[in-house]
Chain A
Amino acid sequence: DSGVTQTPKHLITATGQRVTLRCSPRSGDLSVYWYQQSLDQGLQFLIQYYNGEERAKGNILERFSAQQFPDLHSELNLSSLELGDSALYFCASSRLPENTEAFFGQGTRLTVV
């Protein structure tokens, strides 16, 4: 158990819909990262927050947004969903923003039908 909690574990939704994925970081970790893993692909970095502020942005679509709340949990919002958004979405956390060792949650498997 990495200490990072992601909910829900599975999500099935229709095209055009909007979903919210939730992540609770390990106790004491201030930095949260979101990654997308499509079929047979590596993990693609989406976005990083540190202590409530956006710190880095990767290949995140404009239809996607995220935030980190004062209690340090984070949410990833995916809107106008397309079939190609079907993927595993991982959240990771680390104590510092330098990302030398991030702990990953179990992921949320999103299926868009």
Chain B
Amino acid sequence: DQQVKQNSPSLSVQEGRISILNCDYTNSMFDYFLWYKKYPAEGPTFLISISSIKDKNEDGRFTVFLNKSAKHLSLHIVPSQPGDSAVYFCAARGSGSARQLTFGSGTQLTVLP
């Protein structure tokens, strides 16, 4: 039972354009959402997060949008750069006493020069 789903295994975008990565979740008890970026042979790196009480969080070129009614999360990267090419994981934190993260399966973003 996948509680966090990233339905697009891969995405290609031209340099300078917008990249939109999507994530859906099923558990309405998640209270915090995070995006991680992962380069080959490295561990995931925290990118940006959003609390369930907000609908948008922005950090430079990265913006995360949360639509609670649709149980949908998206990461926008504008403008996209070749160095953004990586696997992006969305993760959701449980709101109970055990606040572990549940990860999606990841989306490989390729930014073409």
Is A25 in the interface zone, CB < 8 Å from B?
A: no
**Interface core residue of B36, B44, B93, B104 (most chain A CB under 10 Å):** B44
Inter-subunit contact B99/A98 (CB<8 Å): yes
A55 closest partner in B (C-beta): B98
B52 within 8 A of A: no
Chain B contacts for A100, CB-based, 8 A: 32, 34, 49, 93
Interface residues of B in 9-46 (CB under 8 A from A): 9, 32, 34, 36, 41-46
Q: Are A2 and B4 in contact (CB under 8 A)?
A: no
| Chain B proximity of A48: nearest CB distance (Å) | 6
Cβ-closest chain A residue relative to B44: A104
Tally of A-B Cβ pairs under 8 angstroms: 66
User: Is A58 part of the binding interface, using a Cβ–Cβ cutoff of 8 Å?
Assistant: yes
Interface: B100 (CB within 8 A)? yes
Q: How large is the interface on B (under 10, 10 to 19, 20 to 34, 35 or more residues)?
A: 20 to 34
Given contacts A33-B101, A100-B34, 13 further A-B contacts (CB under 8 A): A42-B105, A43-B44, A43-B89, A43-B101, A45-B100, A56-B97, A56-B99, A90-B43, A90-B44, A99-B100, A100-B49, A101-B49, A102-B46
- How far, in whole Å, are A57 and B98 apart by their CA atoms in the complex? 8
> Do B105 and A97 touch across chains, with their CB atoms under 8 A apart?
no
Q: In the complex, A33→B108 CA distance in Å?
A: 24
Q: A interface vs B, CB < 8 Å?
A: 2, 4, 6, 33, 35, 40-45, 48, 55-58, 90, 92, 97-107
Contacts of B89 in A (CB 8 A): 42-43
A56 and B46 contacting across the interface, CB-CB below 8 Å:
no
Return A104 CB to nearest CB of chain B, in Å.
3
User: What residues of chain A lie closer than 8 Å to B45, measured between beta carbons?
Assistant: 2, 104
